[in-house]
């Protein structure tokens, strides 16, 4: 279940004042060269503003003190050029030009030394918000257990040792503050703990586009996994019944303290409504609570209220709430988080069985400052303890069940406090600095626009094996449940002269099934083909597409009787599928939907990034779905052999008698094949004839992404009916070969043109 906490805290400015009785200090003494200023009556201070690409120096504000005198400032205020951090810690390469400062528009070019491969951006431009374009540039030699975590501009790193358990510590250059992790550790799964550090000047901020890109990617992935069975809410006033075990709680907490002001509080409410609309577009079932706070908290909607199920009701109550309902205007952030903790405690008491299944997200919108109630970090720690999140035996336990996003808003943000509260997770951003509250609403608006076209692929019902063995399951109920576990699998039946041949496939779009070309005869009559998906049987095929380069007899001059190169085919169904709990699409790499699943959403995401994430290890964990006669579908776990491990696959393929005259085994096992199977270090299951055409899948954060199509194998360890033989030992040279999806993407794109949105470089 997912918990959202939304705290909004900004500063409000009055209109440009004239020198009158409302301004106790002399404004003629606080002008700024090259910029403008407003007087904030709430804070009794001048707020400076500068043109784009400039920032106010020596600071954003100047306060009017008692006695009608300005706080001491030895330097006259002036608008200076925004500067991007210097990449002084760049390793194993060169960058040009090497300047002491970089201003907006300056471009850096990176180059790696011999023996190192460049990852990230080769060219980066200093942007108006004080950040570099692109991604951290890293020169990688692949010599460590973990990849080089890099040295972002403005940081320095204390170590270049990347073995399991090694830690690297980061520090910021003088005058910069850190967002992200100051220490990261190399873990057993070859990833780094924490998040990439970002060292920033006080004037650096995140744009609406950056927030929409980074925040929505992680948020949507969490929400989609939380409950894949709900339809998007129809936005109308009605009671929505949520089943027991509801997987989302959304806490929205609005700061109504003095520094916010009525107008900005209104804008914060509008932004919150936009966020609720965004979340309702996910396939999930949230429960909402709305809390407003200043010195004390007011619970607008409680988690236990009936209307907490209905986003329309929540929006109505939020709309009716007024800023003036708060009398005391202090800032008690800890008190707001305490209200969240109390609601969670009550939820646990009422539904202890399902409480620990919830996914939790806290979104804090604040300037990082609090003036009463104590340290909010204390209350956040209590929430983590309640959710059983923390280190156990050196491993971070249940970390996926809590994401804390912190949005720093307004001037004078306490970056350290913002960073301390935010989660630190590899490849994700949880802390944002916004220069004005409108940025938040614009970001949420962008998130909604981008989600409208998103199809949610690779979802399933996550059902543990022990649950499938329940005694009270009827055979029919068990079968229905297993279909929900593998909703993207298609069964293909080809009937020729009364004899049926079975293959598998995968749902890639509402009217397309991906499978293997060798399942079909050339000039196959589509009327002979029927497809079963989910609980739908005997679906008719409109058209059949075989990869044009699939030529099984094309290598007989190389003594290869039958080649499986380009063993790829697509079936177009006559009727489009209606997606449901039993019928869903698999994720295909290098599409917009798979980018969401991989948390790499963004217009600049490259197909190679998908490949690097999915194939990052020499032994890649994968699975296929087997279905033996008169048995239910079953997951079979295998590993894809990459790099040096793949060489052993070639040697095992060479042991086949039919290849004894093949000069180069790579003519049979070309680079487009992925290899799985084998007996070392563990005996892996092999495919049988009825598995042909099925998907080879990688699970990534509970999303299922197809990377291969089952094609052929070196041994047939199955009986005539298609059952796996268990009475004899699997030969050591048992290997399966699957067509890699990545090289086939351009052909898929040429056939499936409507439902899939491809990355630009496909």
Query: Which residues have a catalytic role annotated?
Result: 518, 567, 692
Whether 227 contacts 358, CB under 8 Å: no
**Distance of alpha carbon 744 from alpha carbon 514, whole angstroms:** 11
**Distance of alpha carbon 708 from alpha carbon 737, whole angstroms:** 9
**Please, where are the H alpha helices in 452-572?**
465-468, 475-485
Residue 525: Cβ within 10 Å count: 12
Coil, helix or strand at residue 8: coil
Considering Cα of 719, then 722, then 728, then 730, what sign does the dihedral take? positive
What beta strand segments (E) does 615-742 contain? 619-626, 634-641, 673-677, 695-700, 703-713, 735-740
Angle at which helices 437-451 and 208-226 cross, to 10°: 50
Q: Which two tokens stand for residue 219?
A: 């948020």
Report the b/e string of 110-119 with b at 16+ CB within 10 A: bebeeebeeb
DSSP letters of 471-540? TT--HHHHHHHHHHHSTTEEEEEEEETTEEEEEEEEEEETTEEEE-GGGS-TT--GGGEEEEETTEEEEE
733 φ/ψ sector (left φ>0, alpha ψ -120 to 50, else beta): alpha
Whether 332 contacts 296, CB under 8 Å: yes
Residue 527: Cβ within 10 Å count: 9
**Distance of alpha carbon 601 from alpha carbon 616, whole angstroms:** 19
Q: Which two tokens stand for residue 84?
A: 């991007």
Report CA Rg, the chain: 29
**Distance of alpha carbon 699 from alpha carbon 486, whole angstroms:** 12
Q: Which two tokens stand for residue 711?
A: 């094609």
**Distance of alpha carbon 589 from alpha carbon 227, whole angstroms:** 22
Q: Which two tokens stand for residue 81?
A: 């050029």
**629 CB-contact burial (10 Å; exposed 0-12 / middle 13-18 / buried 19+):** exposed
**Distance of alpha carbon 485 from alpha carbon 472, whole angstroms:** 18
Separation of first and last alpha carbons in the chain = 35
217 φ/ψ sector (left φ>0, alpha ψ -120 to 50, else beta): alpha
**Please, where are the H alpha helices in 539-684?**
592-597, 607-614, 644-654
Whether 242 contacts 288, CB under 8 Å: no
**569 CB-contact burial (10 Å; exposed 0-12 / middle 13-18 / buried 19+):** buried
Whether 70 contacts 30, CB under 8 Å: yes
Whether 184 contacts 193, CB under 8 Å: yes
Whether 437 contacts 267, CB under 8 Å: yes
Whether 225 contacts 275, CB under 8 Å: no
**Distance of alpha carbon 172 from alpha carbon 348, whole angstroms:** 42
DSSP 692: T
Beta bridge partners of 569: 515, 546
Q: Which two tokens stand for residue 590?
A: 């290098």
254 φ/ψ sector (left φ>0, alpha ψ -120 to 50, else beta): beta
Beta bridge partners of 253: 291
β-strands 78-81, 93-96 pairing: unpaired
Beta bridge partners of 108: 124
For residue 243, give the H/E element and its range.
Answer: none
């Amino acid at each position: 279940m997912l918990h959202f906490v939304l705290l909004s805290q900004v500063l409000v400015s009055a209109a440009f004042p004239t020198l009158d009785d409302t301004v106790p200090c002399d404004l003629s003494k606080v002008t700024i060269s090259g910029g403008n200023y407003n007087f904030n009556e709430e804070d009794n201070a001048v707020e400076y503003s500068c043109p784009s690409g400039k920032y106010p120096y020596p600071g954003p504000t100047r306060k009017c003190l008692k006695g009608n005198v300005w706080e001491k400032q030895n330097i006259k205020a002036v608008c200076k050029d925004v500067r991007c951090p210097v990449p002084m810690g760049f390793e194993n390469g060169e960058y040009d030009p090497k300047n002491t400062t970089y201003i907006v528009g300056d471009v850096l070019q990176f180059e790696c030394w011999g023996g190192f491969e460049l990852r990230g951006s080769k060219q980066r431009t200093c942007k108006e918000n004080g950040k570099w374009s692109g991604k951290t540039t890293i020169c990688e030699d692949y010599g460590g257990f973990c990849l080089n975590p890099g040295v972002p501009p403005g940081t320095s790193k204390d170590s270049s040792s990347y073995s399991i358990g090694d830690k690297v510590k980061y520090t910021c250059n003088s005058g910069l503050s850190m967002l992200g992790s100051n220490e990261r550790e190399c873990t057993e799964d070859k990833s780094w703990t924490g998040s990439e550090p970002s060292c920033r000047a006080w004037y650096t901020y995140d744009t609406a586009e950056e927030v929409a890109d980074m925040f929505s990617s992680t948020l949507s992935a969490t929400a989609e996994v939380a409950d894949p069975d709900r339809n998007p809410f129809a936005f109308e006033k009605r009671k929505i019944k949520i089943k027991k075990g509801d997987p989302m709680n959304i806490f929205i907490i609005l700061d109504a303290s003095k520094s916010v002001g009525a107008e900005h509080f209104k804008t914060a409410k509008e932004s919150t409504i936009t966020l609720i609309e965004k979340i309702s577009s996910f396939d999930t079932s949230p429960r909402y609570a709305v809390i407003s706070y200043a010195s004390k908290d007011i619970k607008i909607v409680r988690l236990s209220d009936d209307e907490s199920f209905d986003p329309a009701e929540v929006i109505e109550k939020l709309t009716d709430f007024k800023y003036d309902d708060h009398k005391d205007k202090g800032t008690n952030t800890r008190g707001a988080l305490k209200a969240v903790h109390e609601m969670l405690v009550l939820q646990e008491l009422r539904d202890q069985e399902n409480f620990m299944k919830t996914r939790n997200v806290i979104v804090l919108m604040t300037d990082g400052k609090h003036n009463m109630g104590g340290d909010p970090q204390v209350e956040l720690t209590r929430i983590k303890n309640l959710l059983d999140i923390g280190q156990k035996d050196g491993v971070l336990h249940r970390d996926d069940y809590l994401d804390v996003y912190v949005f720093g808003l307004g001037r004078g943000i306490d970056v350290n406090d913002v960073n301390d509260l935010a989660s630190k997770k590899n490849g994700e951003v949880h802390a944002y600095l916004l220069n004005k509250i409108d940025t938040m609403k614009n970001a949420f608006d962008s998130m909604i626009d981008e989600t409208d076209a998103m199809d949610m692929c690779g979802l399933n019902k996550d059902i543990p094996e022990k649950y499938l063995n329940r005694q009270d399951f009827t055979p029919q109920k068990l079968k229905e449940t297993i279909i929900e576990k593998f909703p993207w699998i298609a069964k293909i039946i080809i009937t020729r002269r009364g004899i049926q041949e079975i293959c598998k496939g995968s749902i890639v779009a509402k009217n397309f099934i991906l499978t293997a070309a060798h399942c079909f005869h050339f000039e196959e009559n589509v009327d002979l083909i029927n497809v079963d998906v989910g609980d739908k049987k005997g679906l008719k095929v409109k058209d059949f597409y075989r990869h044009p380069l699939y030529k099984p007899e094309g290598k007989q001059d190389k003594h290869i009787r039958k080649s499986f190169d380009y063993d790829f085919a697509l079936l177009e169904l006559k009727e489009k599928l209606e997606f449901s709990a039993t019928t869903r699409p698999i994720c295909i790499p290098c599409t917009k939907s798979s980018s969401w699943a991989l948390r790499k959403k963004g217009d600049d995401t490259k197909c190679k990034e998908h490949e690097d994430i999915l194939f990052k290890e020499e032994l890649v964990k994968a699975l296929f779905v087997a279905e033996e006669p008169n048995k239910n579908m079953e997951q079979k776990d295998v590993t894809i052999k990459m790099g040096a491990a793949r060489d052993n696959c070639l040697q095992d393929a060479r042991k086949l008698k039919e290849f004894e005259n093949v000069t180069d085994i790579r003519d049979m096992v070309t680079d487009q094949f992925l290899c799985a199977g084998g007996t070392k270090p563990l005996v892996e299951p092999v495919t049988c004839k009825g598995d042909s055409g099925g998907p080879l899948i990688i699970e990534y954060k509970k999303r299922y992404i197809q990377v291969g199509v089952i094609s052929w194998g070196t041994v047939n360890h199955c009986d005539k009916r298609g059952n796996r033989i268990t009475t004899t030992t699997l030969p050591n040279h048992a290997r399966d070969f699957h067509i890699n999806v990545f090289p086939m993407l351009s052909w898929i794109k040429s056939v499936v043109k409507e439902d899939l949105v491809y990355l630009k470089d496909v």
